[in-house]
Amino acid sequence: MQGVFLDFATVSHGDVDVGRLAHAVPHLALHDVTAESEIPRHIAGREIVLVNKLHLSRSLMSANPQLRLIAVAATGTNNIDLEAARELSIGVCNVRDYCTASVAQHVLAVMLGLTHHLSDYHRVATDGTWASSPQFTSLEYPIRELRGRVLGIVGYGTLGRAVANAAEAALGMRIAIAQRPGAESAGASGSERLPLDELLRTADVVSLHLPLTEATRNVIGARELALMKRDAILINTARGALIDGEALAAALRARRLGGAAIDVLPQEPPVDGHPLLNSHLPNLIVTPHVAWAAREARQRCVDELAANIEDFLRGGRRNRVV
Its CATH class, for the domain covering 2-98+295-313, is alpha beta
Three-state DSSP class for 2? strand
- Read off the pLDDT of each residue in 69-92 and give the average, rounded to a whole number: 97
Question: Could you give the residue numbers annotated as active site?
Answer: 239, 268, 289
Q: What is the dihedral of CA 199, 203, 205, 206, to 10 degrees?
A: 0
Q: pLDDT digit string (tens) for 272-298?
A: 999 999 999 999 999 999 999 999 999
Q: pLDDT digit string (tens) for 225-252?
A: 999 999 999 999 999 999 999 999 999 9
| 296 HSE (CA, 13 A, CB side) | 7
Backbone angles phi, psi at 291, to 5 degrees: -55, -35
- Please give the model's pTM, rounded to 2 decimal places: 0.92
Three-state DSSP class for 180? coil
Helices (H) and strands (E) in the chain — how many of each? Answer: 11, 13
Its CATH class, for the domain covering 100-286, is alpha beta
| CATH 3.40.50.720 in the chain, residue ranges | 2-98+295-313, 100-286
Rounded CA gap, 216 and 242, in Å?
A: 6
Q: Tell me, what's the pLDDT at 191?
A: 54
Contacts by 115-118 with C-beta closer than 8 Å and gap 24+? 115/143, 115/144, 115/146, 115/233, 116/143, 117/141, 117/142, 117/143, 117/283
Backbone angles phi, psi at 229, to 5 degrees: -60, 150
What's the Cα-to-Cα distance from 195 to each of 37, 209, 242, 261, rounded to whole Å?
A: 46, 16, 17, 23
Q: pLDDT digit string (tens) for 198-233?
A: 999 999 999 999 998 899 999 999 999 999 999 999
In sequence order, what are the residues at sequence separation of 6 or more whose Cβ sits closer than 8 angstroms to the Cβ of residue 132?
A: none
Rounded CA gap, 196 and 194, in Å?
A: 6
Q: Are 27 and 2 in contact (CB under 8 A)?
A: yes
Q: pLDDT digit string (tens) for 44-74?
A: 999 999 999 999 999 999 999 999 999 999 9
DSSP secondary structure string, 109-176? HHHHHHHTTHHHHHHHHHSSTTTT-SSS---SS-----TTPEEEEES-SHHHHHHHHHHHHHH--EEE
Q: Tell me, what's the pLDDT at 180?
A: 81
What's the Cα-to-Cα distance from 320 to each of 69, 157, 207, rounded to whole Å?
A: 10, 19, 29
Residue 66: which of 141, 146, 2 has the closest Cα? 2
- Read off the pLDDT of each residue in 127-156 and give the average, rounded to a whole number: 96
Q: Are 28 and 21 in contact (CB under 8 A)?
A: yes
Provide the b/e sequence for 217-247 (b: ≥16 CB within 10 Å).
Answer: eebbeeebbebbbeebbbbbbbbbbbbbbeb
- Whether the pLDDT of residue 305 is over 60: the answer is yes
Maximum Cα–Cα distance for the chain, whole Å? 75
Residue 242: which of 174, 321, 178 has the closest Cα? 178
